[in-house]
Structure 1
Amino acid sequence: MVSEKDYLVLKHIVQRYFGKQCTLCEYEVLLRKVDYLVVRLTLVNPTERVVLKLAGPNAPILSPFDRTFAINQQVRKQTTVPTFEALAFDMSYDIVPYRYLLMTHIDGRLWSDVKKDIDLDDSQKLYQDFGRAVAQLHSIEYRTFGEIGIQGGINTSDPNYISALSNRAEQRIRNPYNRELFVSLLQQNECLFNDVVSPRLTHEDLNPGNILVRKRNGRWELAGIVDFDSAWAGGFESDLARLELWKGMIGEGFFEEYQTINPIPTNYTHRRLLLQLLWCLEYANPSEEHHKDTKNICDKLGIPVVTFL
């Protein structure tokens, strides 16, 4: 349930986009955090299902919806990757007491929710579909590394990938010691990144909760990739490194299909551990599994084990 105030906010946003004749029939809260909501709405006049993200000033989640809108337009224009259509956004707090992003709904289920029900043949097809889709995302090129702006260009231009990745780590790793550790490791291993010279769209959050699948004609298929809020013009190998770290995200057929569109440099394997460490330090979850993953990476890098409280 949402409060009466938030219900009026939902109604106001959809009527602002679709017109006063639009009726909000049903809603379902998909995600709720402090000052943050993701809601699926069922409408009449027009008959539509849409998804609305709301982020207030105290939301713990970075919500650059203006950037997400621009990235979504690029993905839809330059690839055939199945994804939502971003319909409207506002970052001002002038219209409602939230920043918001309004998008079309994708008919599908979270891959993580149905993975155990998918047989071997369909699982391989999904990995192939996923590999092609991720490679297409990584085919979107930018003039320079950095954060993507509201017009789809680069807000902050960095001279090279090491500089851009260091700046991003400074913004996204909360613990000062861990920030210093990661940037220091990058500088010590700068030579490993000399051949990363082509800025590409990098999603950075291709976790099982952002991959939608559906069953069509008796077979499971990729329905959509969502949530580009963390995306930037980076080194696309970061996505691959995280996918290899997250259990079950890469399977038979993924890399074969991926490389038909976007070949992977041979030096990627030398950079992979540092890219995986960035995710560990950024996520900083004190769970047993995250500590185990982080320890494994630290041991391979030959550095003291990082723990999280």
Structure 2
Amino acid sequence: MSAIQASSSFAPVLIVAGPTASGKSALALDLAEAFDGVVINADSMQVYKELRVLSARPDDSEIARVPHRLYGVLSGREACSAGKWREMAMAEIADCHASGKLPIIAGGTGMYLNALTEGIAPIPDIPARIRDQVTTELEELGHAAFFAKLQADDPETAANLDGSNTQRLIRAAEVFAHTGRGLASWHKEPVITPPENMKFKKLCYMPPRDILYDRCNRRFDLMIEQGAIDEVKGLLALELPETAPVMKAVGVREIAAYLAGEIDLATAKKKSQRETRRYAKRQLTWFRHQMLAKEIIDAQYSESLAAKMRHDVNQFLLTTPK
């Protein structure tokens, strides 16, 4: 199909969302071929170059079919926040519009999608050295003392935090350390919203749960065959702190336990499959609450369903909002 014509009144962006193992990446690929699009990653783990297998990044044959962006672009030593991802995604979207391509955002990380479509607080990006300092401080002090320090520094933010949630504690502390202001204070600032001419078409693909869970189970078996164990070996060789976002990917902890001789491979696979299903369930719940009913596609994939989605996208592109 011909290239899109972005204008001062209409800059279209297609979002293909859904839980892990749903088939959203394949759907995004099909739509990119149909509408001369570029697939832009919105998965918080697929941004890391060390997680090609465990994050189920598109393979070489898929990348050869249509352009893909923001896949494997960051080192595991970096932390990719919603703000950092949004900045990268907006640059890719602008490049698509300038070249007449349809930007297709594909992923299941809800906070990334919300940052793009709803806006985000203008919190400065946190330097890696600050994050490392805060992480080291947490390890030295322990959760209780670290949380007590945060309560003293930033009581407003700490009042709404679970003292055992490591990631949220680090986030709150690093923002305060870098800016001298708490997260709660930053969240009172006007959000950075999308340009007025940017219009979103959302497709949230959520196949029946029994099909989704079966895909979750089969996907991890395939990951083992494709080299997930060696991938985790390479990741562990970086000696990253356990709090690093890349270390939170489903399967990393379980395979690491297998490599350490703590569990056998069958147990590692079983635990990883269970965690994948749990993650998918959380995503399903999030999308049910965040997406409009008309944006959710909960039928099993078929050619007729694909044809309907192509029709809906075509109507979106042909109908310029007033």
TM > 0.5 fold call: no
Higher relative contact order (CA 8 A, sep 6+): 2
TM-score by length of 1: 0.25
TM-score by length of 2: 0.25
- Higher helix content, 1 or 2: 2
